[in-house]
Structure 1
Amino acid sequence: MKLVLLGYMASGKSTVGRLLARHLDVKFIDLDEYIEAHQKKSIKNIFSEHGEIFFRKLEHQLLSEVLDKDESIILSTGGGTPCYGNNMETILNKSDHSIYLNLGIPNLVERIVKGKDKRPLVKNIEDAELPEFVGKHLFERRPYYAKAKHILDCNGDDPDTTVNKIRSLL
């Protein structure tokens, strides 16, 4: 079984993915961590040294590599992964389940503010400007996320509740 979690930053993809993998006794892979291990440098440094085009090509290559492996996995993608190249088609064609962890702007902003210093994309954005920033991004990204086989409303849910919702889908 190959299950891919997608959604906006702070939607819980990595947290839920790790918990779900433990429950199902399968391997968990965070695509961003996989890319960093492959390149032996942070995503931030990959972007600054090689640019976004290089990163997106690498991201697609490694997404395909992970999904081509003959093993059961839970994969969490980066927030932008489904939105570039033909990554969403790759996810749909090479996974058994793709699940969009859908949260509204207020819930996302609340989560992002808590860990803002660890998120380069929003680190320098004032808290008051975050709702507009997130809203604009979601408007652009939702059409890609919405192609997932399952759309899961996660508003107000803790990670265990989300894991249980996913388990009931399988």
Structure 2
Amino acid sequence: MKIFLLGFMGAGKSYWGKQLSSHWDLPYFDLDEVIVEREGMPVADIFNTKGEDYFRRREAEVLRELVSENDRFLISCGGGTPCFSDTMDFMNEAGKTIWLNPSVAVMVERLQRKQYKRPLIQDLSAEDLSAFTEKKLAERQPYYEQSQVIISEDEITLETFDKLISHA
């Protein structure tokens, strides 16, 4: 089984990725963490020194490498991963895509807790963060909507995933 967790920043991809990989006994990769390890610098530094275009190209390369190197896995993708380099089509062909789509209010509340770690939002006020989230989410939604499974509840459990994903 090859599973890709998708969604905006603060949707819960990393949290659920760790929970589900353990629950389903799958190797787990956080795409951003793999990129950080391979590049030897934090995502924010990659953005600042090499630019977003470089990061997006590297993200697509690393994702494809992980897919080719592993027969089964769960990957938590970055929020923008599906939106570049035909990555959404690639993921849909390679495995099962799951869009975690909680309410904007829930995502903003989560983002405020670790805002300093995220290069796209680190300098935004609370009001600007909410507006930014709504705007970026609207831009990315056409990609996210191509997911094979969409979970739009704010409160989800492992059982929610078990019911929606056949992992036999």
Structure 2-normalised TM-score? 0.93
Number of residue pairs matched?
Answer: 165
> For each residue in 1:94-152, what CA deviation from the matched residue of structure 2 results, as whole angstroms up to 9, or x when unmatched?
11x11000112111111111222222221211112222111101110011000000001
Structure 2 counterparts to residues 7-26 of structure 1, below 5 A: 7-26=7-26
Q: Is 2:164 aligned against 1:165?
A: no
What is the root-mean-square deviation of aligned Cα atoms in Å? Answer: 1.2
Kept after mapping to 1: 8 A contact 2:44/2:118: no
Report the counterpart of residue 39 of structure 2 in structure 1: 39
Gaps of 5+ in 1: none
Report the counterpart of residue 144 of structure 2 in structure 1: 145
Q: Is 2:84 aligned against 1:61?
A: no
Structure 2 counterparts to residues 81-160 of structure 1, below 5 A: 81-95=81-95, 97-155=96-154, 157=155
Kept after mapping to 2: 8 A contact 1:6/1:100: yes
SS in 1 for 2:51: helix
Measure how far apart 1:27 and its partner are: 0.7
SS in 2 for 1:92: helix
Distance 1:7 1:130 in 2: 16
Kept after mapping to 1: 8 A contact 2:43/2:119: no
Structure 1-normalised TM-score? 0.92
Worse-matched range after superposition: 28-37 or 53-62: 53-62
Q: Percent identity?
A: 35
Structure 1 residues 30 and 22, CA, compared in 2 at 3 Å: closer, same or farther? Answer: same
Kept after mapping to 2: 8 A contact 1:68/1:94: no
Measure how far apart 1:45 and its partner are: 1.7
Distance 2:64 2:153 in 1: 27
SS in 1 for 2:5: strand
SS in 2 for 1:78: coil
